Amino acid sequence: MTITGEALIGGVAVKGEGSSVKAFDPSKRDYLEPAFNAVSEAQIDAACRLAGAAFDTFRATSDGERAKFLDTIGEEILAIGDELIERAMAESGLPRARLEGERGRTVNQLKMFADLLREGSWRDARLDSPIPDRTPPRPDLRMRLIGVGPVAVFAASNFPLAFSVAGGDTASAFAAGCPVVLKAHSAHPGTSELVGRAVAKAVERCGLPKGTFALLTGTGRHIGTTLVAHPAIQAVGFTGSRAGGTALMAVAAARPQPIPVYAEMSSINPVVLLPNALKARGDSIAQQFAGSLTMGVGQFCTNPGMVVGLAGPELDKFAVDAAAALAGTGPATMLTPGIAGAYQEGVAKLAGQSCVKTVALANQEEGKGAPALFQSGASDFLKTHALQDEVFGPASLIVACQSLDEVRQVIENLEGQLTATLQMDEADYPAAAQLLPVLERKVGRILANGFPTGVEVSTAMVHGGPFPSTADGRSTSVGTGAISRFLRPVCYQNIPQALLPEALRDGNPLQIWRRRDGALTKE
């Protein structure tokens, strides 16, 4: 399959009309062919209009038809073969094993949503029987969830497959019956084109409207802002920086018809070292922490960018052990020159704070990220908001507290986070019980005796959290719950049986779980 450097609109490959950009090969520090041109405003408009025209037809497809579509996308991705992995390696600098695993995750996500569709509970069907002899009478009421409309999806830089063209945002939007207009990330345009053509082929194989999917290419904020401002777009899925996410939120809020933006942005994912665990196994925790911090050159949104513990010899030893473990990991190539530059700027800014002590800091090299570990006191942390800034890469800050109450104050003053981890032994349970209510308000996922890198794709997973970790802490971008972002409820009052959607008809023809007068049943 030859990469052409073209966008896909209505199933047709089109050349963008703006300035061209080439993907950067981080490992060779060179640029890859071909050049990808930025789509024009007219092309963005065409993609959005096609998506709007396709919506009613696509959402009217049966759950089985959409499940087959998702499975077909997975088949087409696998059919690309090794060319997809090789291109992703060249564009991202990520190793083969990581990308092969990510391809598997991408296909499994698609299958997971296909299974959800076949099971049917996603509709949240509810039926309240009429009570004609009540005063006033209660009408016949029935409710289900439907797709919101075309969704604009922005691919992430750090997951060329699993959070990209056919990633979780796209899969959940398709499952909800929503067409997708996707903005490919400029860090891996060739990978995006290969997967985009696989999705387009699945659209064709399944006989779906041409506007079901579009892939837009190019750099520059105007593409994203034009896309989000388009009246056909009804929701946004975004993974990236806080600046990028909040800019799109502002555009979406300023529309004549505001729309929701589900943006995953920044998080430092605190790891709390409770005293008994730290004393009993601090050396082991330090080793695991170093491995988690440097995994993938720290380019995960769940990277442990903060450690909180009680000041004293155990925490001092933890810092020494962690620094020793990090010393074995040298500078490594980051995803793009821009990400590497931003990381080095963030490290320098943190090291330059007068209240911060450098624990470990290897020499930084152009285009690479070297591990960095710093330490500050809780009192300084509480009055220096800049210490909460995410440094996207293998950098972390140890915050030394004088008491468990000060640990609680530090957590209380944190911004919203994706995760928090409690390293604890049984003797620490009383302290953990005091921290849990605060953590529940601050984060989307709480871990015990693990590390946050690695997000399981499952029904119970929450990959989200209060702002600024995400734009809307009531949602998740991973797991079957992600479909709810692109659904809304519709109630049908006294609608004749012949006009009701199948999910709400008497006799339950789809044999799905429904709430009849409050009771969950398949009857």
153 neighbors 263 (Cβ within 8 angstroms):
no
Choose the catalytic residue: 6, 301, 390, 415: 301
Angle between helices 168-175 and 96-119 (to 10 degrees): 20
Whether 41 is a known active-site residue: answer no
Structure tokens at 320: 């020494």
480-485-487-489 Cα dihedral, nearest 10 degrees: 110
For residue 263, the SS3 value is strand
CA–CA gap between residue 195 and residue 202 (Å, rounded): 11
Give the strand pairing for 20-21 and 24-25.
Answer: unpaired
* 463-468, Cβ contacts within 8 angstroms, sequence gap of 24 or more: 463/264, 463/418, 464/264, 464/418, 465/267, 465/416, 465/417, 465/418, 465/419, 466/415, 466/416, 466/417, 466/441, 466/442, 467/415, 467/416, 468/242, 468/245, 468/246, 468/265, 468/266, 468/415, 468/416
The Cα 185–Cα 244 span in angstroms is: 13
Rounded to whole angstroms, how far apart are CA atoms 286 and 284?
5
In angstroms, rounded to a whole number, what is the distance separating the alpha carbons of residues 420 and 401? 17
DSSP characters over 316-384: HHHHHHHHHHHHT---EE-S-HHHHHHHHHHHHHHHT-TT-EEEEEPPP-TTEE--EEEEEEHHHHHH-
Q: Amino acid letter at 474?
A: R
**Phi, psi angles (nearest 5°) of residue 376:** -145, 165
Is 301 part of the annotated catalytic residue set? yes
At 303, the amino acid letter reads N
Three-state DSSP state, 101:
helix
**Residue 106 CA from chain centroid, whole number:** 13
Catalytic residue among 6, 91, 193, 264: 264
Which positions are catalytic? 264, 301
